[in-house]
Structure 1
Amino acid sequence: FCQQKRLADMERKAVNDMFVILSDIWLDEEETMVKLRQVLEGYESVEVVPSLFILMGNFCSSPCNLSFHSFASLRSQFGKLGKMIAEFPRLKEHSRFLFIPSPDDAGPSSVLPRCALPKYLTEELQKEIPNALFMSNPCRIKFYSQEIAVFRRDLLYRMRRSCLIPPSTAETSDPFAHLVATIIHQSHLCPLPLTVQPISWNHDHCLHLYPTPHTIILGDRSEQKSFNYAGVTCFNPGSFST
């Protein structure tokens, strides 16, 4: 109880803490890198820099499947990203950078949950940015007393394709609202058939939403949306590169 009270007190004082969340960072697209530099320049000049940058995949404009053979180039692009971040000393020193892969990024398979990005791709970036963290997909962030679940998957499209009975439009016709209500009621981040989205049963608990987190970040290529349901804030940052 004392620890919870202490965390709550610290949380109330952390009024300047800020998270920056971006999804679809195509490192092989020049336009994306120009936009990312503008974002970093903007936050470098603010009075209090963000505590955390959450950067979600895809990190390449092409899926890293069996036909993908540009891993050396992708490794180099991660290194260039590290050098770019290092150009902003306040961000490098005071901010953390969290990288979360998408199912289309380099990895063993498209099975969920996804392990972190391979070290081969990220070690050049890690040398430049010691504060970089490479996490699984999904992952959870503890912000004092609050829990934040982060999941990168184009879930809305797949859920709508797998829908047998159209959701009721009596309360809302917003597909994102229906998606949020579904995953919260199911207490699972990806309640899709295994034929649509394979899941490693030994690690299925990583996708559970019980107990329900305070915030759910769904990285999806659909448009930016935010929806509050049953006391949970859920939002989609949209695609940064499209």
Structure 2
Amino acid sequence: MASGRGVVPPWEEASAAPAFVKDKIKAAAKALFDQIASGTVSYGSRLPSERDLAEELALTRDATRQVIDFLESYDVVRRRPNSGTFVAYRAKPAPKLGATRLTTDGLLDISAIVDAASPFEFTIVRSIVEPEMVRLAAMYMSASDLRNLSRLAQRLVEIVTEAAEFAELEREFLLTVSTGTHNPVLISMYSVVDAIRRQPEWLRIRAQTLTPSRLTDERNKLQSLYEALAARDVETAVEFMKLIVADENDVVVARG
């Protein structure tokens, strides 16, 4: 993972207004900023509780509050009432050698999008796209599509503890649902989501979230989703997809 130590904090930039805080507050803010700039604490993720953060930074609760105030004044973090403090800063990705927005044949090159996507941004897109993708699939999946999905659902049922294998099959299951919409625009859009899911780092994060009890729960939801799709039960399928997305997103963003 890239280091954030070479990134200049906003308060050290030439255009920044001087901030009058104690050196220890600024030093703690810099330590936390380095984690954010490196991606160790990613854009959109929630910071630890004030008590845990105070312990991590070896500060009092009052001093920790000052650190958060300081970072918030430079838009590095943002407080949300009754929700916590979230990362608002995002470092600009380094230009990728040879990458362009379009390929030579005029098609969109999604590699830059995949490289730059944060867990927070990814979860937002999934929340928007996947429930409606399922709605279309429930209406338009062919008998052949459903047979393919049935085979994947059966393989998922057989997985008991292999989290990495489950994460890969889950990706394949959802990709099959997308192709079952028979909507070329949506299929093309979902190819970006699938490209992100194929990244080793994403698969690793997903596998880490799949404890044995959670794996059983996710497997049951996917099985119920398949059954709703096979029954052409549009609204039930959509509700199960929303549950799957919400449960996964909560865990991934918390770990993000």
TM-score by length of 2: 0.29
The structure richer in strand per residue is 1
Higher Rg of the two aligned structures: 2
TM-score of the superposed pair, with normalisation by structure 1: 0.30
| Higher helix residue share | 2
